[in-house]
Amino acid sequence: MDTDDAALRKSGTRRRPRRGWIVTTLTLLVLMVAPAPSATAEAIVQPVAADPSVVRASDGMFYMYTTADDWGDGQGMHNMSIFKSADLMDWMYLGDVFPDRPAWHPDGKLAWAPNALESGGKYSLYYSLYDESNPCIGLATADRPTGPWTDLGRPVFCAHDVGVGGTIDPFVWDDGTTKTMFVGNFQGVHAIPLSPDGTAAAGEPVRVADERFEGPYVEFHDGYYYLFLSAGNCCNGADTAYRVLVGRSESLTGPYLDRKGQDLNDGGGALILAGSEPWAGPGHNTVVSDDAGSDWIVYHAIPRDNRDLPSGARRREGMIDRIVWANGWPEVGDGSPASTGPANPDTDLPVRVTLRADSDTTLPAGGGTVDTTMLVEAPDDRPYAGQVWVSAVSPDGRTSDPFFGPIDVDLQPGEVLEENIAYTVPGDAVAGTYYAYAFAGTYPDETVEFGTVHAVKSGDEARISPVRSVSLHLGTVAR
């Protein structure tokens, strides 16, 4: 990106100790307030993170993959998107899995509900290709979590191949020797054995849950397999009753029973997550562990007062809450979205760098500037010495050289460096979303953390939002 497209400039520097500091912060997935405020248009912005699947790669970073959507960012449909995070809170958009539609995909059909897994240093991404009469499961593979992705070129299987309906929302359990795929979309959830290479069905389906459910996910904990499922219509706006239920079994293929001993195949299911006044339709979850061994449920939900994307699709925001295992069962706060704040995932980072903006601004056709703040925070238990810098990414995906820095920093344990930086979108900039990313590490070879703000320019006006890259909840947390 040329400096004519966007500009960042340093406007001040402050240092202060971290302890006792109250900071207004923006964070992906975790709503950092208590009590939680209602979701507002100012606090919830694109991009969205529907049907999230998260995998931790060998580089120590978390990667999230999401359903195809039109975010209204000027780039049209994103055919499954990839995001990267060091801490499960700040996410950087890296691109789409399929910039070009695989040849076997019918016109107008985009990929849904990805399920990512890593095995032997290789990455597999199973996905849904929906068709009312014969839905199919696809597969793409890559040597790196960012791709490039090579599609299998055919379905792993379709509904007609395995003799069951609703073959979407794949989840693959890989124990190192065998692979089993769970699929289901309100026609029964089934476990289907796969071939050793995971590219075809290789056995008879076993029904593990009834017609109320979709979006299966399996987590093993203390001798039990826990089957998480979503029930209800995912996308019926404020009227959605989408929610997460769970059952457990000593066997991968069931039977899965709830707390009362009732089979998920026969009306059972322990409710762990449902909608609230600000949030509708939480569901389609994955589970990920932080460095302290705590489990977190990652899912999507719809802000009730800002329900629709510009495309008309439902605005399904990425969310995260902590799971507490109590008497052998997973529990999530008070059972509603964002109810476990102000808890954060515990990730062992050498430094944390974030960007924030304090207000939401609509820019005129002539462009304008938003003031942002970069915070560089050393851990409480050790110092940090390295570099920080800020770059920008244009709507066509081009990343600039640093607009600010790199500068050297040397922080004592618990110390925070604060830099005031202005982000400018000129009047002649192309329409779309511009991201400003702050990085720490050693430029340009090593990046250990990042944060972002973005500005959306559409037609005659540009909207600058106080966010990072995905999810996007505004709140206050005591450090």
**Residue 237 φ/ψ, nearest 5 degrees:** 55, -140
Burial readout 349-371 (b: 16 or more C-beta within 10 A, e: otherwise): bbbbbbbbbeebeebeeebbbbe
| Residue type at 120 in one-letter notation | G
Q: Dump the DSSP string for 340-404.
A: STT-------S-EEEEEESS-EEE-TTEEEEEEEEEEE--TTS-EEEEEEEEEE-TT-PBPSPSE
Tokens found for residue 158:
């379709």
The residue whose two tokens read 């500005």 is 455
Pairing of strands 157-158, 361-363: unpaired
Q: Known catalytic residues? A: 51, 214
DSSP 113: E
What gap in Å lies between CA 166 and CA 192, rounded to an integer?
13
Tokens found for residue 72:
């209204």
Burial of 346 (0-12, 13-18, 19+ CB in 10 A): middle
Q: Computed over its alpha carbons, how large is the radius of gyration of the chain?
A: 22
Where would I find the beta strands (DSSP E) of 205-316? 206-209, 213-221, 224-231, 243-249, 270-273, 279-289, 295-303
